[in-house]
Structures are given as structure tokens and as C-alpha cells.
Chains A and B, each alone.
Chain A
Amino acid sequence: MSSVRVSSLSPSLSGPLSEMALSEMALSEMTLARERLLPVHQTLAPLFGLNADDPTPLALTRGHTVACVGSAAMSCALAVLVAPTRAGSWAGVVGLPSCGVQAAADLGVALERTVFVADPTGGSRTSGQQGDAAAALSALVDGVDVLLLGQRVVSSLSTSLLRRLQTRVQSRGGVLVVVGEAKSLASSLSADVRLTATTQQWQGVGLGYGHLQRRQVLLQLDGRRRARTTEQQVWLPDHQGQLSPVEKAAENTGVVIPLRRVG
């Protein structure tokens, strides 16, 4: 179709476009294993079998679906967004109008690279809405690395549409994070990684005094192609609203004695 006569900058323009597209495809096939991974929060690294001292543990495989379940599922899902958005990836939060933005900001999610999208299905399963939702979600997958879906979106999408979305996420190299109840999520889609966050204990509040300060959460990770379930005790959130590991030795020294009203 065309050729370049004067191009002082680079020879990359030469050759027909189809050839360029072909070579690009060939390149994408042979990307390095490290490039197929997105970072996770340092505290989550041991769960994925990585060293906790690694400042940027790369553990989230691009193309995977991560299901966050349990009583602390929302905080857990936000904690998954932290490292990728900080590293320059964009995140899309779909159909979660009740997502606590301040909690996300405190956890460390880069809000400047996070967009909040209204539920594209409108909560209905009519075919017209489904078509729009599919188009919107696949358009979003093209641009963001991490897509966080609420339970309501997942349950209002048809199974075939969900599978297509997962395939799309795989081909674009994104990560799909779904948050909700374990049972209903398991019935609608198959997750590669499942993070179960169970609240152990809230600290800082007594009977009429103090205020919520931190919560101990048991995180359990299991999934396909994983020999055993790994687990870890974390503060989610800790005093500053962040995610930090529970140090076994320091557990007793960290007891908070809140002020109480006298008289």
C-alpha cells in the first residue's frame, strides 16, 4: 500500500501494515514470563509463595480471574488493586457504587488511574442490555489492566457472556477481579485464584468507648494448579487504613488500650 521515502526518525514504518501486524502478533506470543505478571502488595507476597522482602513481588498472572470472597472481601479486592495501579496500570471498578473510595485511597490505590463505571447491565438480564454491557466491558478491557466486577454485575451477565469476557481478558493480558459471595460466584464463573478473607477480630472498640482501629483478617489463597492452600494473618485495615502483616512476636505488644469515658 505505501512506502516511506524520507523518514529521518526510524525505519520502523517501512513495510506494509499487514506485515507489521503479523510481526507484532509473533512478538506478543513470545513475551517473557516476567512480563505476563502484574505486581501484588508486598504483604500478599507470601500467599503467592514469594519472598516477603521483594519490594515489587510479581505474582498476578495476566489473564487470570481472581475471586475475592469472605467477610472482608471488599477490602481484600481493593488490596489487590493497590500494587498494579501504583505501578502504572489502570483499574476499572464496575458496578460497585458502594465501593469505599476513601478506604481504597488509604490502602494505597492510585485513584488517578482508577475509573468507576456504573453497572452496564442495569441489573437486568434482557438481551438488549446484555449486548450493550458486553460491548462496554470489552471496550474497557482494552484499556485497563485490572477490572474489578461487583457481584451484581457477575450475576446479571449470562454465563456465555462471562466466559467471553474472561477470554477477552486473557487475550488482552488483563486481570479480572470479582468480589462477592463464595457460593454464587462459584456457580457463575471459574476463578483461577480464590482469595478468602475472613474477619478474625476487630480491635480498638469496647463497650461504649474507643473506636475501630484495626482488623485481623485471615487470608487464604487457593486455586487451580496450586498444590495446597496458603494462608496468612494480616491487618486489613491497620491503624492507617493500610494492609500490613501480623507479626507473631509483636502481637502482644501491639494491644491498643483505648480511652474510656469516666464520670
Chain B
Amino acid sequence: MAAIQPPRCAVLHTPAWSIAAAILHEPETFHVAQPLAVFHAQRVLSCSPLAWREGVRPGQRRRQAQGACPHLVIVPFNADRDARMYEPLVQSIGTLVPLIDVENPGSLLLATRGPSRYVGGDDALAVRLLTLAREGLSHANQGLNVDEVIAAGGGLGVGIADGRIAATLAARSSSRRGEPVVIQPGHEATATFLAPYAVKVLTAVAGCSPDLVDLLERLGLRQLGDIARLSVTDLVGRFGAIGETLHRLANGTDDTPPSTIPPPPDLTMSRVFDDPLLQLDMLVFAAKALTDELGAYFHERGQVCTRVQVEAESEHGESSQRVWYRAEGMRSATLLDRVRWQLDGWINGTEPPTAGVTLLRVTPIDIRSDAGTQVGFWGGRSEADDNATRAITRVIGLLGPQSVTVASWRGGRDPREVYEMVCFADIGSADSGGVGQQLVLRPDDDADAAEWPGSLPAPAPAVVHHDPLLVEVTDVHGRVVAVNGRGLVSATPTTLLQHGQSYRIVAWAGPWPVDERWWDQRARRAARFQLVIEQSDGQCAYLAEVAAGQWWLTAEYA
């Protein structure tokens, strides 16, 4: 197979940009000398090198992270802040290179052919890019030591190589080493550079599904070199169409993400404003109509947009032009985020337009079919789901994150334990830019909800008392009924006493003993009963429990 030479690219990468952005944004609150970590949905998203040294790792739960580093300072996740703080850097590089691909705040890509010749070689370009980035940041944030801030964000890496994937990996290793990494042009050099990388990187840099990566690892293909050594025919034979893409990715001969398709030429959404707009809110509102329509277009076809160009033009002819890339694909909400970041950075940045914005244009560049994140049989989220998510997020804003919960199955013997209440705010995906991108937790299927040994047979009680009610159950002689160590009742229960009222027990079943967690402090030893009592308005059934000689009502079959 003839190797296609992919375009030579440079990637500028800061691993924990959120940290750097937080320090730049609020220098009084966050300091370089503190161990910092950004949390989203109770998990570490990124952390500063200082926190890393203390044992904090991305993906950890908040409690684990604070356990590893008690004096950890928590930085709230804010994608808008990250984007706004990144803008000066992008603008500064924009003075040298006109069209920049911003993958996300903290990482950008540019084609090096022109700039490299202009500056005098790749090495010179790498140094130049670093200088420009530093200049841009220190110009916008005077009075701060930008180098220290960048170091807290994991360093600023620049990598130049053939193709996007090699360049990205080069930039990642450069940010660790602290010097530019330039891979020589040519197929050989690129393949040699890529070979030792673990296949896991394909998820992060090429948008391959984690399932595929898992499969590759289980097949013993742990490094990109392992894949590159296999023939295309074998890969296609085993994996189908994706096999060919894998081969190209592993060899560094292709940088288009798997299965992208060029969009129809007329899929450009634009909007002209007769009255120029200068306020960000109004512009974003107008942009929402565009991105919603694009989102609906993709949704209908089961596609997502992986690369998009956003342009805005002011009345005086100034313009802001940027390409945004997201390997996981963009839908309406994520698209709108990109537009907002760009407009925010432009209007509130160092060189704002001198007149109102008259034109907004969104052009999809790469589209691929939506493979990974589709939920529900009928394809994706319904309007009702979006409305509900929006409304619930508003309720969370009013009442606090603990107040809205959803049920998640976890199993157990006690009706109180079978479902766990999970905060709705915690189940949003970490990369969600806006509302509506959150995943809704779905309880496991019936197959997983296998019977727990010792659980109560169906039906389940409709009212569960999380604080059991203290009662008394007596026999005909008025003595409290007890259960002995062998699980036998002392007498037939006949009367239930609650709040000074006595009720006749017409039917009862039990005792069903439980002896749980005897190995730790949460040990529970009890005997359970079902009691049916006679009330003025009919029968009433309860789930009762005897523990340490006390009777409790734990649930009611209301």
C-alpha cells in the first residue's frame, strides 16, 4: 500500500490547562505553590504537578484525592473560563499563522508548511511558537509570572510531526520533557516514533472507542508498533473496515479520524444581523438557532460533527475565524459551546471588535456517523429528555445538588438498600460543555438484578421508612414477642402497639433472620416479619424487624 504523506502539523499542548486558567483568572484565590485539582462530577479531571506528586490522579474520586493529599485545593470546573483564558495565546499565535485548529482549550493544531519555511525550519518554528504563546499570555496577564503558571498547568509542549496523531503525541511528550519535540519528516521516522505508544492513546487522540482498544489489548496488541507490524489484509479480516483505519493510524499515515465523511458543500449555516450585535448574550442566543438546526440535521442522519469552522465578522470588517475539533464529535450543545468560547474570547479579549457583529457563520468540515454515544432504541435523546434535564438543572441550582436524586439499582436484602439514590448532578459526563449533554443513569436490566440470597420475595413495600418506627408486638398475655438465637419466636404475636394504640394482628409470617456484615462495624443481626393488622378502614401490612429485643416497622405495604 502506497503511503500517503499526511500534512505536517504542529501541536501546542498544555495537559492541565484548566489549572493554569484558574490561576490566571483568579490569582488571589489560587496560587502556583498549592496542590490544585479540577473536579467535575466528584472526580478529578486534571491536577497540577504538585498534586500529582502527592498521589492525586485524574479519574479519582474526590474523597480518594483528598485522602491522598489533605491540603488539596479544589478548582471548580468551568469550560468557559478555560476557553476565555486560552484566547490570548491563540490570538498571539494567530499573528504568525492565520488558521488555527483549536481542539479544546489547552490544545491547538496548525499546519506547518508555510510558517516553517517563513521562520526557517521546524526547530525554529517550535521555539517561535513557544515564545509567541508566552508573550500572548504575559501580555494579557500582566503582573503574573506566566512561566510558573504554565508549569502548574503541566507545562507547555510543542510537537511537530507528520500527521495530527504523531504531532499530538509529540506535544504530549514535549510538555513532560520541557523542550520541543520535532519528529523528522518521512514515513519511517513517524512509524518509529509511534511504535512504542500504548494502543490506549488511540482513544484520546484518534477517537477510537474504548471497547475497540480493550479488544486490541486482550488480543495482545498492546503497542501501536504491534498493529503496524500486521498486514492490512489481516486487520481488515479480523476487524472489518476499522482495521484499515487502525493500520493507517498505527503507521501514522493518516490523520483523519475513523470514518469521517466530507459534508455536503451547502451545509453552511450563517446569519446576517441587520442590527449589529455587540452583546455576547444576544449573539449566543442567535448562534443557538444555528447550532440547534445543525444539531437537528446531524441527529436526523445519525451523525456528529468532528471539525467545525466558526466565523464572525463585525461591521467594520474585523473578523474572528477559528476551527474547532473534537474527536468525540459535536452536537448542538457542544457546538454552541465552541461558538460561545470563540465569541467570548473575541469580544471580551484584548483586541475586541470596534463595532457590532453583523455576520455569524458555522461551517462543518468533518462529519462522521455517530457510533458511540447513542442512547435509547429510537435514537438519542428526545425533546422531553432535554427539557427535563434543563428543568432539573435549574432545580438543582435553586435547592442544591443533594436535593435531586435518581434511583440506581445496587441490590440488597433490605428494601431500603435495593436502590441507591444518586445525585442527579453527579451523573453528568465529565466532558459535557452544557446542559443536555448529561447522561441519564439507567438502572441495570433485569438480568443483572438477580435475586439476592435472603432478600424478601415480591411484592416490594410501597413505603419504606428510612428511620424505622419503634413499636411493640405482644402475645395474648401482653408479653413482648422475642426471637431466640435459633430463629424461633417465643409466642404467637397477636397485638401491635404503636403510639398508644393497639391493633389486632390478623396474619403474620416470619421470622426471617438476617445476620449481615458480622465482620465489621456495620454488622446487623435481626429477624424480619410481615404483619397484617386490622384497622378501621381495612387491612394494613407492614414489614417489621426485631433487633436486640426491640420491634421496628421498617416498611409499609401501603
Contact = CB atoms under 8 A, between A and B. Distances in A.
28 contacts: A1-B275, A8-B266, A9-B269, A13-B271, A13-B289, A74-B558, A88-B382, A100-B461, A101-B407, A105-B409, A106-B458, A106-B459, A112-B406, A112-B443, A116-B405, A118-B403, A120-B399, A141-B391, A142-B391, A143-B390, A199-B537, A200-B538, A205-B530, A210-B509, A212-B509, A237-B458, A238-B459, A241-B460
A111 interface: yes
Given A89-B384, A103-B461, A1 B274 contact: yes
Interface string B390-418: 11101100110011111101000001001
A237 B399 contact: no
Interface string B490-529: 0010000000000000011110000000000000000000
B299 to A, nearest CB: 12
Given A75-B558, A98-B463, A120-B403, 6 more contacts: A7-B270, A13-B289, A75-B462, A100-B462, A200-B538, A238-B459
Given A78-B462, A237-B459, A240-B459, A71 B293 contact: no
A157 B507 CA distance: 39
Interface in A206-248: 206-215, 237-241
Given A105-B443, A201-B539, A99 B392 contact: no
Contacts of A253: none
Contacts of B384: 88-90, 113, 145
Pairs of residues from A and B, 3 with the lowest C-beta to C-beta distance, nearest first = A143-B391, A237-B459, A241-B459
A220 to B, nearest CB: 13
B293 A13 contact: yes
A8 B267 contact: yes
A50 interface: no
Contacts of A7: 269-270, 293
A10 B292 CA distance: 12
Contacts of B395: 117, 136, 139-140
Contacts, number: 224
A207 B492 contact: yes
A102 interface: yes
A130 to B, nearest CB: 13
A7 B558 CA distance: 57
Nearest to B406: A115
B30 interface: no
A70 B441 CA distance: 33
A71 B398 CA distance: 34
A99 B464 contact: yes
Nearest to B387: A143
A226 to B, nearest CB: 23
Contacts of A239: 458-459
Interface residues of B, number: 74
B289 A143 contact: no
Interface centre among A114, A120, A139, A206 (most CB of B within 10 A): A139
A105 B410 CA distance: 13
A116 B407 contact: yes
How many A residues touch the partner, as a band?
35 or more
A213 B458 CA distance: 7
A241 B458 contact: yes
A6 B286 CA distance: 14
B127 interface: no
B555 interface: yes
A9 B510 CA distance: 67
A38 B285 CA distance: 33
B389 interface: yes
Given A89-B384, A106-B460, A211-B530, A98 B390 contact: no
A115 B424 contact: yes
A55 B395 CA distance: 34
B537 A6 contact: no
A2 interface: yes
B387 to A, nearest CB: 5
Nearest to A5: B272
B298 to A, nearest CB: 11
B440 interface: yes
Given A117-B403, A207-B508, A215-B541, A3 B272 contact: yes
Given A98-B466, A139-B395, A201-B539, A103 B460 contact: yes
Contacts of A6: 266, 268-270
Interface centre among B294, B296, B403, B555 (most CB of A within 10 A): B403
B480 interface: no
B460 A198 contact: no
A97 interface: yes
A71 B269 contact: no
A6 B407 CA distance: 46
